Amino acid sequence: MDENNLLEEDRQNIVKQNPPDRKRVIIRSLPWVCVALIILVMFVSSSKSRDDSHQYSMPVASAVYNMIQPAINVMRRRSDLAIIASLNLFIRKAAHVLLFYALTLFVILGMRGVTRRKKLAYISSFFIVLLIACLDEFHQFFSDGRNADPYDVGLDMLGAAFAYISIPFFNLAGKIGTMLSK
């Protein structure tokens, strides 16, 4: 027997003696399931034409307008439709930031399950999220009534930046929770 076969047999014996814990496998795959679901939501949303997409965001903009209408009446300078259109744009762009905030957190969690090196997990997560943002805009280029907008990639990466900034707060909250539970 050569040395490679011995090493392979040793590895297989170690795996047989220490099979992966099913619960650990499920927990490590959970962030990737969330990543896949977020990407699916983005893909479906990006596939809709601009008019179809507005059908979903305009009712939200109208509801927000109805909630803040008393304040708007005080500062009345624009028509109701112009204000609702501005709110609609804001809501659509905020969705980019929020989706990529969540996506980035899940990609980081997933990468932390792949590698123990924190720095590698953070750097690779950044490039994975950037790739997803670019692919999302590339996909919109081929969708009816949509266009690829580098500004949206910037908003997506702003959401990613917020995720990176919020990680220390999550760590602090976890430490406080551990201290309080003792």
Asked whether the beta carbons of 38 and 104 are under 8 A apart, the reply is: no
Percent of the chain clearing pLDDT 90 (strictly above): 22
Lowest mean pLDDT, pick from 11-25, 90-104, 119-133: 11-25
Rounded CA gap, 152 and 143, in Å?
Answer: 15
Residue range 15-41: mean pLDDT, rounded: 77
- Domain limits, the chain: 31-181
pLDDT of residue 86: 78
pLDDT band at 147 (very low <50, low <70, confident <90, very high): confident
pLDDT band at 18 (very low <50, low <70, confident <90, very high): low
pLDDT reading at 149 higher than 60: yes
Lowest mean pLDDT, pick from 52-61, 82-91, 155-164: 52-61
pLDDT of residue 8: 63
Residue range 133-156: mean pLDDT, rounded: 85
Lowest mean pLDDT, pick from 126-130, 137-141, 152-156: 137-141
pLDDT reading at 47 higher than 80: no
Give the DSSP letter of residue 18: S
Q: Which pTM was predicted?
A: 0.70
Q: Which residues, at least 6 apart from 113, have a Cβ–Cβ distance to it below 8 Å?
A: 27, 28, 29, 31
pLDDT reading at 105 higher than 70: yes
3-state secondary structure 74-131: HCCCCCHHHHHHHHHHHHHHHHHHHHHHHHHHHHHHHHHHHCCCHHHHHHHHHHHHHH
For the chain, the average pLDDT equals 79
Cα separations in angstroms, 80 against 56, 62, 65, 69, 84: 19, 10, 9, 9, 6
Q: Which is more confidently placed, 180 or 39? A: 39
